[in-house]
C-alpha cells in the first residue's frame, strides 16, 4: 500500500469532510448560488395557519415552487411564492391550503383552471382562493357520524335479528289481527246500546227547550221593573246632554281666546310690535351677548387689575446717606405693569451744562436737589421682565429676572445716558429678596461705572402692599372696548 505522509493523510481527511459537508448541505437545503431561478406570484389567504416559509407549492401534487415569504396584509395572510420558470400558472388557477396525509406538513395546492387561460407573469396575483374543511375536523366529524350510525344499526339488529326477533315480529302481527277482530265484535254486540244512547240524547235536547221557554215567561213577568230601570237611564243621559250643551256654548269663547293668543304669537313671530322685534331681531341677541361679554370683561379686568404701593430705602455706603423710593405699581394683567416712582436721591439730579467763559467752552456737571420721577412700562415673559421708560427723570431701560417663585429678583437698569460722553450712563445692578408678603431687602451696586465717584454699594429694606381702594379708583374709569 502507498505510504502516505502525515500531511497527505490530514489533507485527504479534511477534503473528505468538506465534500461531505457541502454534499449534505446541498442535498438538504437546496442552496442555489447566485440569483434564485423562477418568478414570483402572490396569494392572499384568510388563514395560513400551519404554513411555514419554504413550504412547497404544488400543482397536481407535483412541487412547482416554494412559499418564500408569509406576510400579514390587511389582516390577511399574503404569501409570496417562487415558481419554477418552466411552470406556467394560469390566471384562473385556484389556491388551496392543504395538508399532506394526516399528520403531514401544510402546502399550497394550485388547482388548474381552463387550459386556454393566459398565464401569470412575474409579480402576478392568484386571485381565486378556496377554503377546504380542515382535514382533522372532517375526520372527527365523520368518525362521530359513523359511530352514531353504528349504534343505531346495532340496536336494530339486536331487536330484530335472530330467531327471537322473528318470533316477536310474528307475535306482533298476530296480536294486531286479534285486536281488529275484537273491535269488530264489540261494535256488533253494542249496536242496541248505541241506539238507546241516541234516544237519551233526544230527551236531553227537549229539556233544554223547556228551560228556554221558562226564561222567556220570567222576563215577561218583570217587564215593568225593567221599564223603570230603562227610564232612569234615559233621564241620566238627558242631563248629560244639557251639560254638553253648556260646554258647547263655552267652547267658542275658548276658541276665541286661543286664536287671539295664536295671533299674538304669530305677530311676535313675524316680528311685529316691540316684543316681536325684540325677540325676532338677531341684533338684539348680539347686542345682549356683547353687553354681557362686555360686563364680563369689565369684571374680569377689575378682578385681574392689581395695584401695589411700595416704599424702599437704600443705604448708599459711599455716600453715607439713604436713597428713598416711593412707588405705585399698577398691574392690569399678570404679565404687564406700569410703575410710577418718586425717588429722593441724596446725590441729586445731574445735568451737564456747557459753559462758555471767555471763549473757552467747558462742560460742567451740575447736581441739583430735587425729586426724581420714574414712569416705566414693564412686560414680563415667563421669568424675565423687560421694562423701560423714564427712570429717575431720564430715559432708560431695565431687565429683571425672577427666581424661586418670584421671591428673588435680580434687576439691572441703565439710564441717564449722556450722548456727549461726558459722563457714563447710570448703571445699577441689584437683587431684591422678599422676606414675606410685605417686607423685602435689597442689595447691590449703584452707578458702578460712574466717572464722578458716585459708585456705591447699597443695602436697603422696604415694604409693599396691595391696595384694593386704588384699584377701584383706576378701574372705575370707563372701560375701553377690548
Partner 1 sequence: MRELFERLGRMAVTAVTVTGNMFLILAQAVYFIFIPPYKLRNIVKQMEFVGVKSLFVVILTGSFTGMVLAMQSFNALKRFGAESLVGPTVALSMARELGPVLTALMVTGRAGSAMATELGTMRVTEQIDALYTMAINPVKYLITPRIVAGLSMLPILTVITDFVGVIGGYFVGVTLLNINPGVYIGRTVDFVNVDDIMYGVTKSFFFGLIITLVASYQGFYTTGGAEGVGRAATNAVVVGCVLILVSDYILTSIMF
How many positions of this chain bind partner 1 (CB under 8 A)? Answer: 21
Cα 302 to its chain centre, rounded Å, is 38
Which triple of cell numbers denotes residue 89? 400558472
Confirm or reject binding of residue 3 to partner 1 (CB under 8 A): no
Confirm or reject binding of residue 7 to partner 1 (CB under 8 A): yes
SS3 at position 323: strand
The residues with which 314 forms a beta bridge, in sequence order, are 323, 460
Site string for partner 1, 30-59 (x = CB under 8 A): xx----------------------------
Show the beta-strand stretches assigned E in 104-206.
106-111, 124-126, 128-130
Give me the phi and psi of 117, to 5 degrees please: -65, 145
Confirm or reject binding of residue 6 to partner 1 (CB under 8 A): yes
Report d(CA 79, CA 61) in Å as an integer: 19
CB 107 within 8 A of CB 132: no
Residue among 66 and 387 whose Cβ is closer to partner 1: 66
Residue among 9 and 451 whose Cβ is closer to partner 1: 9
Choose the stretch contacting partner 1; rule: CB under 8 A; options: 11-19, 41-49, 398-406, 434-442: 11-19
Confirm or reject binding of residue 187 to partner 1 (CB under 8 A): no
Confirm or reject binding of residue 9 to partner 1 (CB under 8 A): yes
Vertex 309: Cα angle to 307 and 315 (nearest 5): 145
* Smallest separation, CB 157 to partner 1 (Å): 31
Q: Which of 14, 149, 254, 435 binds partner 1 (CB under 8 A)?
A: 14
Cα 450 to its chain centre, rounded Å, is 64
CB 46 within 8 A of CB 52: no
* Smallest separation, CB 98 to partner 1 (Å): 15
The residues with which 428 forms a beta bridge, in sequence order, are 413, 446
Residue among 64 and 391 whose Cβ is closer to partner 1: 64
Confirm or reject binding of residue 199 to partner 1 (CB under 8 A): no
Q: Which of 1, 2, 3, 28 binds partner 1 (CB under 8 A)?
A: 28
Choose the stretch contacting partner 1; rule: CB under 8 A; options: 27-35, 175-183, 213-221, 271-279: 27-35
* Smallest separation, CB 3 to partner 1 (Å): 14
Q: Which of 2, 72, 103, 230 binds partner 1 (CB under 8 A)?
A: 103
Show the beta-strand stretches assigned E in 19-61.
39-45, 56-59
Residue among 13 and 417 whose Cβ is closer to partner 1: 13
Report d(CA 187, CA 190) in Å as an integer: 5
* Smallest separation, CB 16 to partner 1 (Å): 7
* Smallest separation, CB 15 to partner 1 (Å): 9
Sheet of strand 106-111: strand arrangement: 124-126, 39-45, 76-83, 62-73, 56-59, 106-111, 94-99, 128-130
The residues with which 98 forms a beta bridge, in sequence order, are 107
* Smallest separation, CB 121 to partner 1 (Å): 30
* Smallest separation, CB 116 to partner 1 (Å): 34
CB 427 within 8 A of CB 414: yes
* Smallest separation, CB 403 to partner 1 (Å): 57
Show the beta-strand stretches assigned E in 219-371.
306-316, 321-333, 336-344, 349-357, 360-368
CB 378 within 8 A of CB 451: no
Give me the phi and psi of 458, to 5 degrees please: -140, 160
Choose the stretch contacting partner 1; rule: CB under 8 A; options: 6-14, 328-336, 351-359, 425-433: 6-14
Confirm or reject binding of residue 10 to partner 1 (CB under 8 A): yes
Vertex 91: Cα angle to 89 and 95 (nearest 5): 70
Confirm or reject binding of residue 105 to partner 1 (CB under 8 A): yes
CB 402 within 8 A of CB 368: no
Choose the stretch contacting partner 1; rule: CB under 8 A; options: 22-30, 232-240, 272-280, 459-467: 22-30
Confirm or reject binding of residue 25 to partner 1 (CB under 8 A): yes
Residue among 16 and 287 whose Cβ is closer to partner 1: 16
How many other C-beta atoms lie within 10 A of the C-beta of residue 284? 12
Residue among 9 and 437 whose Cβ is closer to partner 1: 9
Choose the stretch contacting partner 1; rule: CB under 8 A; options: 10-18, 140-148, 220-228, 247-255: 10-18
Cα atoms in the Cβ-side hemisphere of radius 13 Å centred on 194: 6
Which triple of cell numbers denotes residue 83? 415558481
SS3 at position 272: coil
Residue among 61 and 358 whose Cβ is closer to partner 1: 61
Confirm or reject binding of residue 29 to partner 1 (CB under 8 A): yes
Query: DSSP 3-state helix, strand, coil percentages of the chain (rounded to 5)?
Result: 40, 35, 25
Residue among 105 and 164 whose Cβ is closer to partner 1: 105
* Smallest separation, CB 36 to partner 1 (Å): 15
Confirm or reject binding of residue 1 to partner 1 (CB under 8 A): no
* Smallest separation, CB 142 to partner 1 (Å): 18
Residue among 54 and 168 whose Cβ is closer to partner 1: 54
Contacts with partner 1 by CB under 8 A lie at 6-7, 9-10, 13-14, 16-18, 20-21, 23-25, 27-31, 103, 105
Amino acid at each position: 500500500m502507498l505510504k502516505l505522509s502525515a500531511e497527505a493523510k490530514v489533507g485527504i481527511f479534511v477534503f473528505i469532510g468538506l465534500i461531505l459537508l457541502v454534499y449534505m448541505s446541498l442535498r438538504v437545503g437546496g442552496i442555489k448560488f447566485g440569483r434564485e431561478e423562477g418568478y414570483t406570484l402572490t396569494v392572499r389567504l384568510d388563514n395560513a395557519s400551519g404554513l411555514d416559509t419554504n413550504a412547497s407549492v404544488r400543482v397536481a401534487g407535483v412541487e412547482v415552487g416554494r412559499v418564500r415569504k408569509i406576510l400579514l396584509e390587511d389582516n390577511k395572510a399574503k404569501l409570496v411564492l417562487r415558481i419554477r420558470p418552466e411552470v406556467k400558472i394560469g390566471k384562473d388557477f385556484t389556491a388551496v391550503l392543504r395538508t399532506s396525509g394526516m399528520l403531514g406538513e401544510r402546502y399550497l395546492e394550485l388547482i388548474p383552471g381552463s387550459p386556454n387561460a393566459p398565464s401569470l407573469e412575474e409579480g402576478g396575483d392568484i386571485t381565486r382562493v378556496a377554503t377546504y374543511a380542515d382535514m382533522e375536523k372532517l375526520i372527527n366529524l365523520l368518525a362521530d357520524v359513523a359511530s352514531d350510525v353504528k349504534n343505531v344499526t346495532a340496536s336494530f339488529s339486536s331487536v330484530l335479528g335472530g330467531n327471537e326477533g322473528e318470533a316477536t315480529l310474528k307475535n306482533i302481527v298476530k296480536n294486531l289481527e286479534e285486536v281488529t277482530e275484537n273491535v269488530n265484535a264489540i261494535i256488533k254486540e253494542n249496536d242496541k246500546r248505541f241506539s238507546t244512547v241516541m234516544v237519551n240524547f233526544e230527551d236531553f235536547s227537549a229539556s233544554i227547550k223547556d228551560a228556554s221557554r221558562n226564561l222567556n215567561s220570567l222576563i215577561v213577568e218583570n217587564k215593568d221593573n225593567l221599564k223603570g230601570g230603562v227610564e232612569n237611564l234615559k233621564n241620566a243621559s238627558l242631563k248629560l246632554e244639557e251639560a254638553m250643551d253648556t260646554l258647547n256654548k263655552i267652547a267658542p269663547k275658548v276658541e276665541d281666546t286661543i286664536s287671539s293668543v295664536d295671533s299674538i304669537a304669530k305677530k311676535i313671530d313675524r316680528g311685529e310690535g316691540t316684543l316681536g322685534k325684540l325677540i325676532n331681531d338677531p341684533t338684539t341677541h348680539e347686542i345682549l351677548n356683547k353687553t354681557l361679554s362686555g360686563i364680563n370683561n369689565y369684571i374680569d379686568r377689575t378682578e385681574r387689575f392689581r395695584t401695589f404701593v411700595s416704599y424702599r430705602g437704600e443705604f448708599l455706603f459711599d455716600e453715607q446717606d439713604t436713597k428713598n423710593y416711593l412707588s405705585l405699581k399698577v398691574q392690569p394683567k399678570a404679565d404687564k405693569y406700569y410703575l410710577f416712582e418718586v425717588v429722593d436721591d441724596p446725590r441729586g439730579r445731574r445735568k451737564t451744562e456747557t459753559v462758555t467763559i471767555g471763549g473757552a467752552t467747558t462742560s460742567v456737571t451740575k447736581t441739583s436737589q430735587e425729586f426724581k420721577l420714574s414712569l416705566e412700562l414693564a412686560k414680563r415673559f415667563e421669568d424675565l421682565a423687560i421694562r423701560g421708560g423714564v427712570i429717575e427723570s431720564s430715559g432708560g431701560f431695565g431687565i429683571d429676572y425672577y427666581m424661586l417663585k418670584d421671591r428673588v429678583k435680580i434687576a439691572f437698569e441703565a439710564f441717564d445716558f449722556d450722548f456727549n460722553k461726558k459722563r457714563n450712563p447710570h448703571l445699577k445692578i441689584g437683587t431684591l429678596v422678599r422676606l414675606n408678603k410685605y417686607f423685602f431687602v435689597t442689595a447691590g451696586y449703584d452707578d458702578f461705572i460712574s466717572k464722578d465717584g458716585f459708585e456705591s454699594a447699597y443695602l436697603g429694606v422696604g415694604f409693599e402692599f396691595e391696595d384694593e381702594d386704588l384699584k377701584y379708583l383706576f378701574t372705575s374709569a370707563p372701560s375701553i372696548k377690548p
